[in-house]
């Protein structure tokens, strides 16, 4: 009887050694760590078809997610036949409207928000401004650091600016326009890093 049980005993010992070597510990207590997260924060599980299907000029706006800015796809409608300066203003206004709109359901689920409020408008340059100036209905200094970073980074990365990572902004009052830059630091920490700004000479 003893001889017949030895192979079975040897097999159990080998199995125990293998389990120990793999770092697997037997337990009689069921474990439940809950369901795996279905979506990584600040990352859409799939492209937002609703924003892609809209007619117009493809563009990107910068929304807030966590403590940083994240670019998301949008479209902006621009009428045919608009002059260069008129087109720039129309694109800028369309981008402002997208920034002020509620993020889509998928974007909300992923944690996207916006600090840009509805009602913000933009016009072109006044006499004495550089020709690519965009004047906001609210002074840039009166925007929150988050909203200003969203506007600057969105404009500077679009047809509303010259495509050099900066944009010339001013408020409604007669004050000098300033060139704002969207830097890596601004995109990473818009709450503590306001876009650098330098006054520019008139056109």
pLDDT digits (tens, 9 = 90+) for 54-83: 568 899 999 999 899 999 999 998 877 767
Instruction: Please write down the HEC assignment for all residues of the chain.
Output: CHHHHHHHHHHHHHHHHHHHHCCCCCCCCCCCCCCCCCCCCCCCCCCCHHHHHCCCEEEEEEEEECCEEEEEEEEECCCCCCCHHHHHHHHHHHHHHHHHCCCCHHHHHHCEECCCCCCCCEECCCCCCCCCCEEECCCHHHCCHHHHHHHHHHHHCCCCCCCCCEEEEECCCCCCCEEEECCHHHHHCCCCCCCCEEECCCC
Q: Is residue 35 part of a domain?
A: no
Q: Is the residue at 107 inside a domain?
A: yes
User: 158 in a domain, yes or no?
Assistant: yes
pLDDT tens column, 135-155: 999 999 999 999 999 999 999
pLDDT tens digit sequence for 167-185: 999 999 878 899 999 999 9
Give domain status of residue 8, yes or no: no
Is the residue at 83 inside a domain? yes
Q: Dump pLDDT digits (tens) for 189-203.
A: 999 999 999 999 776
In a domain, 55, yes or no: yes
| Residue-level pLDDT at 50 | 52
Residue 12 lies in a domain: no
With respect to residue 37, please indicate whether it lies within any of the assigned structural domains.
Answer: no
Number of domains the chain is built from: 1
pLDDT for 17:
41
Domain range enclosing 125? 49-199
Average pLDDT value over all residues in the chain: 81
């Amino acid at each position: 009887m003893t001889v017949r049980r030895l192979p079975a005993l040897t097999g159990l010992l080998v199995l125990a050694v293998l389990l120990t070597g793999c770092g697997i510990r037997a337990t009689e207590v069921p474990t439940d760590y809950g369901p795996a997260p279905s979506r990584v924060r600040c990352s859409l599980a799939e492209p937002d078809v609703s924003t892609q299907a809209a007619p117009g000029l493809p563009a990107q706006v910068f929304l807030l997610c966590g403590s940083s800015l994240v670019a998301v796809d949008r479209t902006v409608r621009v009428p045919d036949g608009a002059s260069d300066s008129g087109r720039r203003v129309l694109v800028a206004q369309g981008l402002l409207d997208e920034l002020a709109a509620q993020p889509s359901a998928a974007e909300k689920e992923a944690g996207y928000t916006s600090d840009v409020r509805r009602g913000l408008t933009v016009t072109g340059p006044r006499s004495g401004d550089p020709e690519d100036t965009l004047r906001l209905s609210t002074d840039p200094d009166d925007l929150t650091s988050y909203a200003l970073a969203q506007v600057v980074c969105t404009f500077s990365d679009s047809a509303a600016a010259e495509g050099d990572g900066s944009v010339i902004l001013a408020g409604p009052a007669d004050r000098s326009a300033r060139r704002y830059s969207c830097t890596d630091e601004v995109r990473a920490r818009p709450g503590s890093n306001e876009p650098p700004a330098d006054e520019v000479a008139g056109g």
